[in-house]
């Protein structure tokens, strides 16, 4: 079983790049980590803890490569039974109300599925940060003790 499953939703590659940097850091620390770009519900169920990293597309929508998993989760409602999770949302604050809509939707869904958030949603604004991995990687390092299950 994977210690940390990183589920990435990316349109132009920023979230993918962030996820790869986080994956590298976790692997260097000796964790069994897997990055999923086209995940299934079975992938989701086979992880001890989950980290979603997603950009937002359209009017606050989830990127197409992550949309199938999220729709499947909404349809089947797989209870997480306090499985720890964290969510990083990438967006552009100039989009107003739809800003980081995907990250917010994912976070709310995981709470609804009875997951245990290890932190509030991390929102990274493209208007303020050109290299989102410089915020994301240290943040994941900070929440890591709560995210990793040592059983």
DSSP state of 97: G
- Rounded CA-CA distance 22/143 in Å is 12
Per-residue model confidence (pLDDT) at position 2: 80
Per-residue model confidence (pLDDT) at position 23: 97
The domain defined by 6-147 carries CATH number 1.10.30.50? no
- Rounded CA-CA distance 119/146 in Å is 9
Sequence ranges of the domains in the chain:
6-147
Q: What is the mean pLDDT of each run of 10 residues along the chain (151 residues)?
A: 91 96 96 96 95 95 97 95 96 89 97 97 94 96 87 48
DSSP state of 69: H
């Amino acid at each position: 079983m994977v210690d940390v499953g990183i589920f990435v939703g990316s349109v132009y590659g920023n979230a993918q790049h962030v996820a790869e940097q986080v994956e590298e850091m976790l692997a260097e620390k000796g964790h069994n980590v897997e990055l999923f770009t086209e995940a299934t519900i079975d992938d989701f169920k086979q992880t001890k803890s989950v980290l979603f990293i997603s950009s937002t597309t359209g009017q606050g929508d989830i990127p197409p490569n992550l949309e199938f998993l999220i729709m499947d989760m909404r349809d089947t409602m797989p209870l997480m039974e306090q499985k720890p999770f964290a969510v990083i949302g990438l967006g552009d604050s100039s989009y107003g109300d739809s800003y980081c809509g995907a990250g917010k939707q994912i976070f709310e869904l995981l709470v609804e599925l009875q997951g245990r958030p290890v932190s509030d949603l991390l929102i990274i604004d493209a208007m303020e940060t050109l290299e989102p991995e410089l915020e994301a990687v240290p943040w994941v390092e900070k929440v890591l003790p709560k995210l990793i299950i040592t059983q």
